[in-house]
């Protein structure tokens, strides 16, 4: 039985620890925070009237194509149908304009959604249908150096504003001018063309801790893994055949922490290969995501609505948490690739809610800003490899792979890292 250390208990680290434990390894999971889940975790807060409420450190969304994540939930005894609200891909605004896909097999669902898009002219619809057909004929490939903006240049301004920009910012968390067209096409393929229901939106009905990390923690403890929360690893050192974590010996180590932490630890090992890996991880640029929670409004027409983002109106989406198991009237506004400070964002979002949703009496609850929520998914980006050094691997949504910074990418990466640790 090999001793394996997994450093970081986000969704990648949890997936890795579970797979490694299942394979028969003795797993020790280190987490610097007191709460497991990384950038997708629960956050206790208080409503304006003093009532406690569980929020999240950011409003997350999943899609039907997240096969590895959904499989992991089922393995932990978590029923996705009970904790996730499934709805067809919908990018509808408060006025009813926008696109919604029916529950049909692909690509008929996309074609029907395009034809039925409200507020779009025939020119808008034909331009999108023509481009989608071209992407499919080209095998969803493009020049690795192309941006989403260049890829979608034939589309009309309305389709860009009401479909491409919201999809890109939600999937890649990178503005279309800077986002990778190659990765965007891969996401479109897997969501819209790989299988029925792949594009469905899965909105959490519970807080993110309940959604998976709490169940993962219970499973790991029941199966003999050791969890050390509130412990920040200081340094790695390579011995003749073993790794040392702050002086403690392990056969193999998995860096499942954020890229900047993984880069720090890889550099501390002071090996040529770990130093080179560290430099690649440090070179990644990051984008922030802000979630503005507010309460006091009436229920929205749907659990999720798109918002028209622009100057002074930063939010791209609003979630009605009251329709998703939370207190009535609690809304979560998401600002992807946000740039402004917390107070400015909060003021702008409340004004946007008044102008676009007619909600003038909202009270702020909490504004959460993750400054380094995701890596910037730019064209031809060099991402760190999973193999860091001998007996040292990395996992996370930023590690080299086909997907942008998503929960699914993190889970898949974690499972791959566990497999790389070999047999027990």
Tell me the pLDDT tens digit for each residue of 9-38: 999 999 999 999 999 999 999 999 999 999
**Residue 294 sits in the same domain as residue 358:** yes
Percent of the chain with pLDDT over 90: 88
For position 195, what pLDDT does the model report? 77
CA distances from 189 to 64, 199, 311, 421 (A): 13, 10, 31, 31
For position 239, what pLDDT does the model report? 84
Helices then strands, each counted (H, E), the chain:
15, 21
**What is the average per-residue pLDDT within 356-377?**
95
Residue 223 has pLDDT above 90, yes or no: yes
**What is the average per-residue pLDDT within 310-332?**
95
Indicate which CATH number applies to the domain containing 294: 3.90.660.20
Residue 265 lies in a domain: yes
For position 149, what pLDDT does the model report? 97
**Residue 99 sits in the same domain as residue 229:** no
Backbone dihedral angles phi then psi of residue 295, each to the nearest 5 degrees: -140, 165
Structural domain that includes position 292: 44-59+202-206+286-375
Residue 325 has pLDDT above 80, yes or no: yes
Comparing 79-83, 266-270, 271-275, 295-299, the range with the smallest average pLDDT is 295-299
Which of 176, 199, 222 corresponds to the end of one domain?
199
**What is the average per-residue pLDDT within 325-340?**
93
**Residue 118 sits in the same domain as residue 51:** no
**Residue 107 sits in the same domain as residue 157:** yes
**Residue 281 sits in the same domain as residue 385:** yes
For position 142, what pLDDT does the model report? 95
**What is the average per-residue pLDDT within 298-304?**
94
Residue 309 has pLDDT above 80, yes or no: yes
Residue 201 has pLDDT above 80, yes or no: yes
For position 320, what pLDDT does the model report? 97
For tokens 């400015």, the residue is 344
Which of 149, 169, 199 corresponds to the end of one domain?
199
Q: How many domains, the chain?
A: 3
For position 1, what pLDDT does the model report? 74
Q: How far apart are CA 367 and CA 369, in angstroms?
A: 7
Where does 32-147 show beta strands of DSSP type E? 42-46, 52-56, 62-63, 84-87, 90-92, 98-100
**Residue 388 sits in the same domain as residue 260:** yes
Query: What is the DSSP-derived secondary structure letter of residue 313?
Result: B
Residue 248 has pLDDT above 80, yes or no: yes
Residue 106 lies in a domain: yes
For position 193, what pLDDT does the model report? 81
**What is the average per-residue pLDDT within 44-57?**
94
For tokens 């998703």, the residue is 324
Residue 363 lies in a domain: yes
Q: For residue 409, how far is the Cα from the chain centroid?
A: 8
Residue 270 has pLDDT above 80, yes or no: yes
Mean pLDDT of the chain: 94
Residue 67 lies in a domain: no
């Amino acid at each position: 039985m090999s001793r394996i250390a997994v450093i970081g208990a986000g969704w990648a680290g949890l997936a890795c620890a579970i797979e490694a434990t299942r394979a028969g390894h003795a797993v020790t999971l280190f987490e610097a925070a007191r709460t497991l889940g990384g950038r997708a975790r629960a956050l206790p807060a208080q409503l304006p009237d003093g009532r406690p409420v569980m929020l999240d450190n950011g409003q997350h969304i999943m899609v039907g194509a997240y096969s590895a994540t959904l499989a992991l939930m089922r393995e932990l005894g978590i029923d996705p149908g009970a904790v996730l609200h499934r709805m067809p891909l919908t990018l509808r605004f408060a006025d009813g304009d926008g696109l919604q896909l029916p529950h049909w097999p692909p690509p008929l669902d996309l074609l029907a959604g395009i034809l039925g898009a409200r507020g779009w002219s025939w020119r808008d619809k034909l331009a999108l249908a023509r481009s989608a057909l071209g992407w499919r004929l080209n095998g969803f490939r493009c020049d690795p150096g192309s941006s989403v903006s260049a890829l979608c240049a034939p589309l009309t301004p309305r389709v860009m504003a009401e479909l491409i920009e919201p999809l890109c910012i939600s999937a890649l968390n990178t503005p279309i001018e800077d986002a990778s067209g190659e990765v965007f096409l891969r996401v479109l393929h897997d969501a819209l063309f790989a299988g029925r229901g792949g594009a469905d939106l899965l909105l959490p009905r519970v807080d993110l801790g309940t959604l998976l990390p709490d169940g993962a923690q219970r499973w790991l403890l029941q199966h003999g893994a050791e969890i050390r929360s509130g412990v920040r690893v200081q340094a790695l050192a390579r011995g003749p055949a073993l790794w040392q974590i702050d002086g403690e010996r392990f056969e193999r180590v998995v860096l499942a922490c954020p890229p900047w932490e993984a880069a720090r630890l890889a550099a501390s090992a002071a090996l040529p290969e770990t130093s080179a890996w560290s430099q690649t991880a440090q070179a990644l640029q990051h984008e922030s995501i802000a979630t503005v929670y507010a309460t006091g409004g009436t229920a929205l027409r749907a659990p999720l609505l798109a918002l028209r983002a622009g100057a002074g109106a930063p939010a791209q989406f609003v979630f009605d948490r009251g329709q998703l198991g939370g207190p009535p009237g609690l809304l979560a506004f998401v600002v992807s690739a946000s740039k402004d400070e917390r107070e400015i964002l909060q003021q702008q979002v409340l004004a946007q809610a008044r102008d676009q949703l007619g909600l003038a009496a909202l009270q702020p609850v909490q504004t959460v800003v993750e400054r380094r929520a995701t890596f910037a998914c730019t064209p031809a980006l060099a991402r760190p490899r999973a193999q860091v050094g001998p007996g040292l691997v990395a996992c996370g949504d930023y590690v080299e792979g086909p997907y942008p910074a998503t929960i699914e990418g993190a889970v898949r990466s974690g499972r791959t890292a566990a497999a790389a640790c070999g047999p027990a």
